[in-house]
């Protein structure tokens, strides 16, 4: 799960990581009153969308600046807020469609003397958290890693030990900080790791982490992702979810306990079990096709959920065919078949569909589909199903 910058900044503050003063403004708030209450005149206005690269982005109704703008007066700030909210921001991470800005963050501008990059994430190959720090911040980290990998320092964290003071001190030494600042950076990184562990984060990224004109460290932009599997033990984090920012089909699927993820291809998949769903997508690709979604209806899906699932996959306008791959254990093939027929009756569709049923009530399931009048190609096994749907979608 992803959250907004303003929410991430609040979490950092809670964990004593220094951040500039800031407050969020929602569409429809009294912008003027909020601005007047600020204790500073210059205001940094930052579009709040679930995407990075805002500074270098642009608005669809072009404003001559991107999603991060420093206004030199409250009067100008009011103009900026009015122009950003409701406008669509396009950045490298939003895709061409961009994202509508519904809220902005007002931050006290910082006089920056140096920008750093700091991140903690889980390295899947090492199976450990790693802390990364670069003396070149503000810009995109992939570019730094490519161009000057020696500037990207990496500390591997042993989970049983946690991040240690000796590790952070050594890092601060390596980048040549004087003692006072080395201590400040070390404390800040230890706090970041405390947050990472306490909230089951999968990523904390501070870009940039800056040294201000007075020689103090401040996190001026942060991004935090959470491990979805740990969300049940963090109700406070779950409350931060902003469904407006998420794919509406994915949000709807979640309501029915379906695990759906939209992808870029054109072959829709309806499968039970995450492993089988992955295998189905692999075989579609193996036969030259591209899956339009990942969908795991779960181990015990009922007819109602399957009807919902089918409607959700049909909402993707790119799809040219559907493959249904069910290995009936607790899930009954005839319930899946009935769910498909229900959905098909209420949503007129004429796309090719390949069905592979195996397991509980397989014959009854096939019978339901055959007598429904829907045009269906049956497949003998998983590979056959993938092959057939790819050919039908060519
Ligand atoms: P991003 O483009 O989405 O990553 O948004 P950032 O919050 O990182 O802002 C982009 C850039 O704007 C930063 O790298 C900074 O250089 C600059 N910036 C952001 N906030 C401030 C600020 O308070 N003061 C100054 N001087 N620059 C800022
Ligand atoms: Mn940034």
The residue whose CB lies within 8 Å of the most ligand 1 atoms, and thus the one to mutate among 48, 134, 220, is 220
| Smallest CA separation from ligand 1 atom 8, residue | 221
Share of the chain above pLDDT 90, in %: 82
pLDDT (tens digit, 9 = 90+) per residue, 94-109?
888 899 999 999 999 9
C-beta of 138 in contact with ligand 1 (< 6 A): yes
Phi, psi torsion values for 335, nearest 5 degrees: -70, -40
Strands (E), 135-230: 152-156, 201-212, 217-219, 222-226
67 and 55 in contact (C-beta within 8 Å)? yes
- pLDDT tens digits for 182-241? 999 999 999 999 999 999 999 999 999 999 999 999 999 999 999 999 999 999 999 999
DSSP code, position 185: H
Cα–Cα dist 79/65, whole Å: 13
User: Is 149 a residue whose pLDDT tops 90?
Assistant: no
Compute the distance between CA of residue 221 and CA of residue 19 in angstroms, rounded to an integer: 9
User: From ligand 2's centre to the CA of 158, what distance in Å?
Assistant: 28
Q: Say yes or no: CB of residue 112 within 6 Å of ligand 1.
A: yes
CA 96 to chain centre: 17
44 CA closest ligand 1 atom index:
23
| Ligand 1 pocket residue status of 221, Cβ below 6 Å | yes
- State in Å: Cα 345 to ligand 2 middle: 48
Pocket test for ligand 1, best of 208, 210, 217 (most atoms within 8 A of CB): 208
The span from the CA of 374 to the CA of 377, in Å, is 10
Question: In angstroms, rounded to a whole number, what is the distance separating the alpha carbons of residues 46 and 272?
Answer: 42
Map out the domains of the chain with their CATH numbers. 21-107 (3.30.1490.20), 112-237 (3.30.470.20), 247-393 (3.40.50.261)
Q: How far is the CA of 221 from the centre of ligand 2 (A)?
A: 5
pLDDT in tens, 310-334: 999 999 889 999 999 999 888 899 9
């Amino acid at each position: 799960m992803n959250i907004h910058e303003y929410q991430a900044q609040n979490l950092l503050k809670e964990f004593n990581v220094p951040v500039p003063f800031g407050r969020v403004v929602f569409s429809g708030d009294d912008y003027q009153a909020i601005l007047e209450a600020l204790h500073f005149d210059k205001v940094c206005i930052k579009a709040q969308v679930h995407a990075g690269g805002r500074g270098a982005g642009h608005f669809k109704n072009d404003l001559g600046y991107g999603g991060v703008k420093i206004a030199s007066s409250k009067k100008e700030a009011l103009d900026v807020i009015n122009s950003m909210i409701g406008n669509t921001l396009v950045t490298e991470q939003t895709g061409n469609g961009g994202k509508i800005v519904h809220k902005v963050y007002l931050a006290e501008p910082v006089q920056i003397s140096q920008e750093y990059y700091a991140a903690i994430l889980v390295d899947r190959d090492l199976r450990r958290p790693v802390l990364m720090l670069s003396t070149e911040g503000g810009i995109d980290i992939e570019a730094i890693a490519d161009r000057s990998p020696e500037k990207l320092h990496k500390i591997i964290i042993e989970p049983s030990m946690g991040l240690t003071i000796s590790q952070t001190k050594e890092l601060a030494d390596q980048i040549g900080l004087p003692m006072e600042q080395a201590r400040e950076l070390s404390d800040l990184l230890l706090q970041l790791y405390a947050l990472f562990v306490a909230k089951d984060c999968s990523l904390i990224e501070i870009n940039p982490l800056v040294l201000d004109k007075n020689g103090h460290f401040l996190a001026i932009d942060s991004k935090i992702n959470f491990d979805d599997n740990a969300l049940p033990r963090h109700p406070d984090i779950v409350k931060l979810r902003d469904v407006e920012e998420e794919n509406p089909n994915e949000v709807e699927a979640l309501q029915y306990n379906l695990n759906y993820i939209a992808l870029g291809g054109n072959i829709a998949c309806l499968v039970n079990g995450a492993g089988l769903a992955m295998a189905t997508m692999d075989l579609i690709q193996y036969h030259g096709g591209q899956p339009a979604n990942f969908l795991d209806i779960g181990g015990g899906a009922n007819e109602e959920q399957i009807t919902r699932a089918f409607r959700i996959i049909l909402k993707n306008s790119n799809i040219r065919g559907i493959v249904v791959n069910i290995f009936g254990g607790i899930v009954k093939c005839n319930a899946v078949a009935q769910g498909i027929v229900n959905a098909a009756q209420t949503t007129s569709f004429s796309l090719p569909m390949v069905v592979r049923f195996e397991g509980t009530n397989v014959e009854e399931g096939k019978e339901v589909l055959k007598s429904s009048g829907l045009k269906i190609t049956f497949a003998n096994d998983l590979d056959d199903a993938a092959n057939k749907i790819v050919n039908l979608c060519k």
